[in-house]
A and B are shown apart, each in its own frame.
Chain A
Amino acid sequence: MDAPRSTWFEKPKYQNVKSLEENALPTGRWTKCPDCSEVFLKKQLEENLNVCVKCGHHFRIGAKERIRLLADEGTFREKFENIGAGDPLVFTDAKESYKDKIRNTVKKLKMNEGVITGTCRMGDFPAVLAVMEFSFLGGSMGSAIGEKIYQAMLLGIKNKCPVVTVAASGGARMHEGILSLMQMAKTCAGLERLGQNRVPYISILTDPTTGGVTASFASLGDVILAEPGALIGFAGPRVIEQTIRQKLPEGFQTAEFLRDHGFVDRVVPRAELKQAVVSLLQFFAS
C-alpha cells in the first residue's frame, strides 16, 4: 500500500492552470492538445470522450454530450426548459444589449439557458440531473439558472431521489446585477431544503468552475467529484495574479489541488465518471 517513493519527498505536481479561454474545444477536422501538443483527428478525440489519447487532457464538453455520457440511454426527460432569462436591469455593455446577447446565444446554441435540468436513470437508479453549459455566456449564473437549479432541488425532494449537478461556470451573470448574486443564496436555500429531507446531493465539478457557482451549490455536495485538471476556484487566476502581483504556482486551483486541500472528494477521469456516480447512487439506495 506504499505510495510511490517519489511522492515521499516531492511536492505534488498539478497540471498547468488554463485560463478560461484557451481550454475550449477547437473547431475543424484536426485538433491540437493544449497540454501535450499532440495533433489528431477530431473524430478520434470524440471517440475517446474528448479526452486526449496521449496525455489524458480533458477537453470541455457541452451539456448535451455530458447528459449522453451520464444518463442511461433514452431515459433523460428535460424539465423546466421553458425558464429563460429576463432582463431586469435593461443592461447594455460596450458592444450590445443583454437582451440581444441572450437572443443570439439561444439561437446559436439551440438552448434556452446555461443549464439543462431534468430527470433520468443512471445505472437504472433514478436521479434529478442538472448540467451546466459553459458556452452559454460562460455558464454564468443568472436568475434562470438559479430558478432551474432550485426547481431541480424541489424535484429531488418530491421524487425522493438524489440530485446530481455538473458545474461549468465562470461565475455570476453580472448583466443581471444584484439579482444574479442572489441566485447563490437561492440555490443554497434549495440545498438546505434538500438536506432537511435527507435527499443526497452529488456535485460534479468540471472545467472551469469559478466564482458564484463555486461559492454556492457546487461546493456543497454530500459528495463532490471533479474531472482531472479542471480549473476550480473562487477567484479567477488572473484576478488573483493581479491582486498578489505574482505568478501562481503550477497546478494551483486544479481539481487535484482542491482534493489535496480537502475540498473535493475524488478526481475521476471522464471514462469512469458515470460508474463513480452510479456506485454512489447504489450506496444511497441500499
Chain B
Amino acid sequence: MAEIKPELALFDFEKPLQPLYHKAEKLMAEVPVNEKKLAAVGADIQKVTAKIYKGLNNWQLTQVARHVARPYSLDYIGKIFTDWQELHGDRNFRDDASTVCGVARFDGQSVVVVGQQKGRSTEENIRRNFGYPQPEAYRKALRFFKFAEKFNKPVVTLIDTPGAFPGLEGEERSQGEAIARNLREMAGLRVPIIAVIIGEGGSGGALGIGVANKVLMLEYSVYSVISPESCASILWRSSDEKIIAAKALKNDAKTALKFGIIDEIIPEGLGGAHRDPDGTAANIRKSLKRELAELCAKKPEELVDERIAKFAAMGVVTDL
C-alpha cells in the first residue's frame, strides 16, 4: 500500500493530505479493520495526491526533487542493475564519495555506472559532502568514461547534486577544469552514454556527467543553471524571493523537454519517487532498456556525431 504512508514528512502544499492520513491511521488501528472504509480513504488519498502533484509550481517541484526520502543513485542502482561493484578513486588524488562509479549488469549486458550520491544520515552526508562533488569526483567519473570506452561498454550516469562544491580546495584543484574536461571528453566518447536526472540537476555540477546521447529526466526532478535561492539573491537581492526565481528559471522537466535539453520525461510513482521507489525504478528500467538497445546498435562515429550535433543545436538565438 504505497499510498498510505503517514510517516512521510509532508510539505506545506501537501497539508490537505494530513487529515486523510490521520483517518487512515485510525482505521488501521481498529480491530477488526474496516477494509471498505480504509479502501475509500486510500482512494481519497490517491485522488488528492494526484491533484497536488499535477499542480506543483517550480519551487514546490524543487522541494520534491530535494526530498530527503527521495531515492538516491545507489537506491536505483540496487533496483535496476545486478552484479553492481563499486570501484573507487580517481587514481590521482583521492576517492570522492559524492560520486559513485562502478561496473554492473543490465539484463545481462555489462554497463559502467556513474552516479551522484547524497547521504541519508548526518555522518554519511559529511562523508559524501552533501552530494556536492569536488574536482576529483569529475576526474573519477572521467576515469570510468575512458574505462568504458576502452572496453566498449555503454555508460549510464545518474544525476543528483545541488552543484559542484564552491570551496578553497576545489579551486586549488580547479573545479572549472575538471568539469570542462568532462564536457569535452564526454562529447567525444566512442560508446553510448545515457544520463538520467533523478533529483537535483544542479548547474555545471550536474552537467559535468551529463553530456549524453540521451538525457532522461524523472518527472519531479529539476535541471537548472542556478538554484532558485542563489538566483533570487542575485537578481532579486533576497533569497526569500526563491519562489519567484524558481518560476522565472523554469527548472522543470517539461521546459527542458520543450527546448530539446532532454529527450524524455520518465514518470514517477503517484506523489513522487519517494512514495514509490520501486515503481519509479521500473519506469527508469523500461526507458533504459529501449535507449540502450537503440544506441548499442550504432557505430562509434555515429554516436559521437549525434552527441555533438545534439548539444550544438541547443540554444535560442535571434538573427539580427
Contact residues in A for B230 (Cβ distance below 8 Å):
239
Q: Is A184 an interface residue (CB 8 A)?
A: yes
Contact A177 B168 (CB under 8 A): no
Contact with A along B234-255 (1 / 0, CB 8 A): 1111000100000011110001
Q: Is A146 an interface residue (CB 8 A)?
A: yes
**Which of B176, B308, B319 touches A193 (beta carbons < 8 Å)?**
B308
Contact B237 A94 (CB under 8 A): yes
**Which of A85, A88, A177 touches B225 (beta carbons < 8 Å)?**
A177
Within 8 A of B (CB), among A76-119: 81-89, 91-94, 112
Contact residues in B for A192 (Cβ distance below 8 Å):
184-185, 187-188, 308
Contact with B along A204-241 (1 / 0, CB 8 A): 00000001101111111000000000000111100110
Q: Is A59 an interface residue (CB 8 A)?
A: no
Contact residues in A for B237 (Cβ distance below 8 Å):
94
Contact A184 B250 (CB under 8 A): no
Contact A220 B180 (CB under 8 A): yes
**Which of B166, B250, B251 touches A234 (beta carbons < 8 Å)?**
B166
Q: Is B316 an interface residue (CB 8 A)?
A: yes
Contact residues in B for A82 (Cβ distance below 8 Å):
319-320
Within 8 A of A (CB), among B168-226: 168, 170-177, 179-181, 183-185, 187-188, 203-204, 207-208, 210-211, 223-226
Contact B176 A234 (CB under 8 A): yes
Bound-complex Cα distance A189 to B204 (A): 15
Bound-complex Cα distance A160 to B258 (A): 36
Contact B167 A240 (CB under 8 A): yes
Q: Given A83-B319, A177-B255, A234-B176: A185 and B164 within 8 A (CB)?
A: no
Chain A nearest CB, measured from B144 CB (Å):
18
Q: Is A248 an interface residue (CB 8 A)?
A: yes
Contact residues in B for A235 (Cβ distance below 8 Å):
166-167, 170-171, 175
Chain B nearest CB, measured from A235 CB (Å):
3
Bound-complex Cα distance A248 to B188 (A): 37
Contact residues in B for A172 (Cβ distance below 8 Å):
203-204, 225-226
Chain A nearest CB, measured from B161 CB (Å):
13
Q: Given A91-B248, A94-B241, A185-B210: A240 and B168 within 8 A (CB)?
A: yes
Contact A83 B317 (CB under 8 A): yes
Contact B319 A84 (CB under 8 A): yes
Chain A nearest CB, measured from B233 CB (Å):
10
Q: Is A7 an interface residue (CB 8 A)?
A: no
Q: Is B311 an interface residue (CB 8 A)?
A: yes
Q: Given A192-B308, A212-B204, A215-B180: A178 and B224 within 8 A (CB)?
A: yes
Q: Is B314 an interface residue (CB 8 A)?
A: yes
Chain B: interface size category: 35 or more
Within 8 A of B (CB), among A232-286: 233-236, 239-240, 243-244, 248-249, 252-253, 258, 261, 263
Contact B180 A219 (CB under 8 A): yes
Contact residues in B for A147 (Cβ distance below 8 Å):
315, 317
Chain B nearest CB, measured from A197 CB (Å):
12
**Which of A189, A215, A249 touches B308 (beta carbons < 8 Å)?**
A189
Q: Is A179 an interface residue (CB 8 A)?
A: yes
Q: Is B159 an interface residue (CB 8 A)?
A: no
- Select from chain B the residue with minimum beta-carbon distance to A146: B315
Q: Is B265 an interface residue (CB 8 A)?
A: no
- Select from chain A the residue with minimum beta-carbon distance to B163: A235
Q: Is A183 an interface residue (CB 8 A)?
A: yes
Q: Given A91-B248, A93-B236, A143-B317: A189 and B311 within 8 A (CB)?
A: yes
Q: Is A63 an interface residue (CB 8 A)?
A: no
- Select from chain A the residue with minimum beta-carbon distance to B315: A143
Bound-complex Cα distance A216 to B176 (A): 7
17 contacts across the A-B interface (CB closer than 8 A): A84-B317, A86-B318, A94-B237, A172-B226, A174-B231, A178-B223, A178-B224, A180-B225, A186-B314, A189-B308, A193-B308, A212-B203, A219-B174, A233-B171, A234-B176, A235-B166, A258-B174
Q: A182-B311, A235-B166 are in contact. List 6 more A-B contacts (CB 8 A).
A: A172-B225, A195-B188, A219-B180, A234-B171, A235-B175, A252-B168
Using a CB–CB cutoff of 8 Å, the interface residues on chain B facing chain A are 164-168, 170-177, 179-181, 183-185, 187-188, 203-204, 207-208, 210-211, 223-226, 230-231, 234-237, 241, 248-251, 255-256, 259, 261, 307-308, 311-312, 314-320
Among all A-B residue pairs, the 5 with the closest Cβ atoms: A235-B166, A143-B315, A214-B176, A188-B183, A86-B316
